[in-house]
Amino acid sequence: MIHRPAPYRKTLAAAALAGALLAGVAPWPALAQQRQVPETREQVTLSFAPLVKQTQAAVVNVYGARVEKRPQNPFMDDPFFRRFFGDGGFGVPRERVQRSLGSGVIVDAGAGLVVTNNHVIENMSEVKVAFADKREVEATILLRDPRTDLAVLKLADAKNLTAIALADTDELQVGDIVLAMGNPFGVGQTVTQGIVSALARTQIGVGDAQSFIQTDAAINPGNSGGALIDMKGRVVGINTAIYSRSGGSVGIGFAIPSAMVRLVVDSAKAGVKTVKRPWFGARLQSLTAEVADGLGLDRPAGSVVASVVDKGPADQAGLKRSDVILSVDGVNVDDPESFGYRFATRPIGGTTMLSVLRSGKRISIPVKLIAAPETRPRDMVKLTSRSPLAGLTVGNMSPALAEELSIDTGNEGVVVSEVEEGSTAANVGFQKGDIIKALNGEQMTTSREVETILKDRRRAWEVTITRNGQTITSVFPG
């Protein structure tokens, strides 16, 4: 079972850095230049301590907090009861503070930027960062990117900071030694050692652009947002998830590659609130073994073009239905997820080269890297009228909004961008990314049309939506 190492819910002060396990190859300067299996006992007894000292100041603890108001006891509306029991209501506080604990990495010392996991600070209104030397400073949230489970914080005090450089993930190899640094279980800053167990892991189920680094370095609750460091002292990934039946580490951890981290950090530096990724404009499917055999391929690796959006980048490049995409800029892509990662990390404004199999022949097709267009104003509306849709925030469909929500661009209608927790809409089962097609048989094309029709009192509501390519019609009481 895949777990995000959920933010540890116990607040502890940062502790002294734990020692590293022993392993190594050759003297330290040579270690950063070559890969070599230890050949002598002396080589095995070398220490990671110099590398830890070099990087420990840049790995921080991230604390999030928010105040939750509890429902007030109805008796407390009566002054008589308040006189005897106070505003708390029979000894029960009307507010409580929810806290989370994770890790983060300073990636820009001058600007005071810290990268962490989005799920560490999700729904948190206050964030603090604690250093290994026990200093604490407040931080503001510059950018959240739920699609990658990354967030960027800005420290209020950016003095005397140490940052870690981001590595080129393409240089990483299976078997490379790595260190995982973070704050597991709130015990204090800790270092664990392991190797890169696998690269380009997809189908993990935690994020959209999936191409995770797998490692056997111990990652536990509280490690979320911490650094996976190579032997040159660079960040190769941000620790984000583990495979576990118990919630603890069993030696299968996953990190977001630094290439994706760089994209999110650069977006935060640019001052945007949403990460802009290249828009492909086509829907892909995995290549089955039967289809691969029929195409003369020796393995089912690649992505089949299932449909192409009219006038989108894929269409303009000449891609066609049933084309099989084999690589992006010379790097093989085994499935739609790995294609999505490779394509998403290309810089907007340039061109990427796809290797495509068409009618048994391999051809190269250049595709322009452009952001998805806002073809019409999204006009976001929060629905508050009494109805089964109360609590939804909806907007007008466009390629840009579809890209942000990871839904098929070819859909038309009004899309759900947010579902308020505990709302009527949440309780009846509406989900983010649902596309509202019709209400009581009347087609919906804009968010304002939905808002207007819901102002009418109805005894029943027939709602038609599209979800994951399927059309669903349900009837709810008014």
Question: H or E stretch including 48?
Answer: none
Q: Which of 100, 197, 211, 224 is catalytic?
A: 224
Select from 159, 156, 180, 62 the least CA-distant residue to 115. Answer: 62
Please check whether residue 189 is in contact with residue 61, taking contact to mean a CB–CB distance below 8 angstroms: yes
| Residue 171 burial (C-beta neighbours within 10 Å; 0-12, 13-18, 19+) | exposed
User: Of 30, 20, 83, 88, whose CA–CA distance to 52 is shortest?
Assistant: 20
Are 236 and 167 a contacting pair, CB within 8 Å? Answer: yes
* Catalytic residue of the set 3, 100, 108, 119: 119
Structure letter (DSSP) for residue 134: S
CB count within 10 Å of CB 105 equals 27
* Tokens read off for 256: 């977001």
**Choice among 108, 145, 149, 334 that is catalytic:** 149
Is 224 among the catalytic positions? yes
Q: For residues 70 and 6, give the distance between their C-alpha atoms in angstroms, rounded to a whole number.
A: 23
Known active-site residue 385: no
Helix (H) or strand (E) holding 51: helix 49-55
Angle (deg, nearest 10), helices 336-344 and 258-269: 40
Torsion of CA 242, 276, 322, 203, to 10 degrees: 0
Q: Phi and psi dihedrals of 38, rounded to 5?
A: -55, 135
Q: Reduced to 3 states, what is the DSSP secondary structure of residue 202?
A: coil
Euclidean distance between CA atoms 186 and 334, whole angstroms = 38
CA–CA gap between residue 100 and residue 95 (Å, rounded)? 17
- Which residues 6+ apart lie within 8 Å of 267 measured at CB? 143, 145, 274, 275, 276
Q: List alpha helices for 211-300, DSSP H.
A: 258-269, 289-294
The DSSP secondary-structure symbol of 74 reads: G
Our answer to whether residue 3 is catalytic in this structure is: no
243 neighbors 252 (Cβ within 8 angstroms)? yes
Please report, for residues 127, 385, 446, the alpha-carbon distance to residue 394 in angstroms, rounded to integers and kept in the order given: 29, 13, 9
Active site residues: 119, 149, 224
